[in-house]
Structure 1
């Protein structure tokens, strides 16, 4: 049976998330505006603690934002009821946690894991592929009935991907899906995710810290200090102006400018501006 294209559009507006740590409020996200079109494959980059995993959890409806809007398809998550969120997570959105073992039932082989992952969506009447076909798409036919303890790290991660795709979601959210894998297994998992997005039309958002993985993605978004700090397209890195006029500098530029440095913006070739430190413009 041919697969229907199921990608969901994702958007956030002025998204803020605050949590308490040791009695203090910490802003994990500070006004994130994000748009991901149906069927896009997008990577979220940034240093540890930048807010990438928090953003992924908000898109999955695991947390509610402190402020702002989150749209996944037609559902606005910040105001959605518990029943709508449960239905979304059962049928429309899959979240792959970091580490294959966190996504799998250890006492079931891959085939039974996929079958179990389909239960809620099947009860809701969703038309789903046979579990064997889900595994075959990812090259796991031979591993379908083997104990998980016998699988390689790469095959375990592919099994976790099979579980995430078992309900044929419109949005796949994957937190570091290639971490702790060797290069061959990493490439295999990344190729499987890309093929899933391309053939099924699934919208995919990946959190990664691996520059090699990021370089292979058609679009990347860098989160810095809880904001969108940059965007990469076809290997080119761009700074992103926020709605309130905030322009985060790329790290390699910021490292060359001491705090408090005065800068001027000068027209360049009539099509843009050069950021010039004040000391370089003195006459």
Structure 2
């Protein structure tokens, strides 16, 4: 078994996710400290307007009487489940997918135990990279969720995800995909160059970056799904200074990695921005988009 592929399946059980063949030993993408720091901003940003159409679709799914089966792809520390499970009625069983066993432990321990109506919420974890789902990955699924995932996938991987959801007849709620737009107040002449370089860095090695939402919309729509979009921006002010500072370091660092010629100006830029952040004078809007794909339930009219 390839390193990081997870525990061996039980007799008769087929694996539901597999690692990218070309990068079986790639280190974890996110540190739990970063995920913990961003969780409150994520929770505030997610688009509540998508929940009503989602609830209506879930209420009419075949097999609803047995409760919901929710697959959380790239779950990290489980923030999506903590946000969504208490907002949905009925019993829920969450299947948490991530390639990092350390994050899976956090996700399982910190998972909610009750739905909106008091019904029981249970979880299980599955280790592996969700970039490519096997054909039967979502058998029996009621819903697929993910947060901040689409932009680190490729065109092919998004197409595979859409095809798997459509084949399973389950909707997908895919939140907090980067939109490629950032607003900083007060403005600085270097803002545009840093943004452009960061967006180019996001698209490296074939990843979708800020093109992810457009590509995902097309992938689901081409397969007959109805797609709804809502903005989900981070709005960061003095109360989010710790998050803003960490975001700034990563944002500028990625831009310089993409365009090393920016390094000297970017160092001064980052120093000035961090000082303004510490003084409570910096406000940042990081634009994201939430996507709800309503696919045709298997064997039923949409």
Query: TM-score normalized by structure 1?
Result: 0.31
Higher relative contact order (CA 8 A, sep 6+): 1
**Based on CA coordinates, which of the two structures has the bigger radius of gyration?**
1
Which structure has the highest helix share of the two?
A: 2
Query: TM-score normalized by structure 2?
Result: 0.30
Which structure has the highest strand share of the two?
A: 1
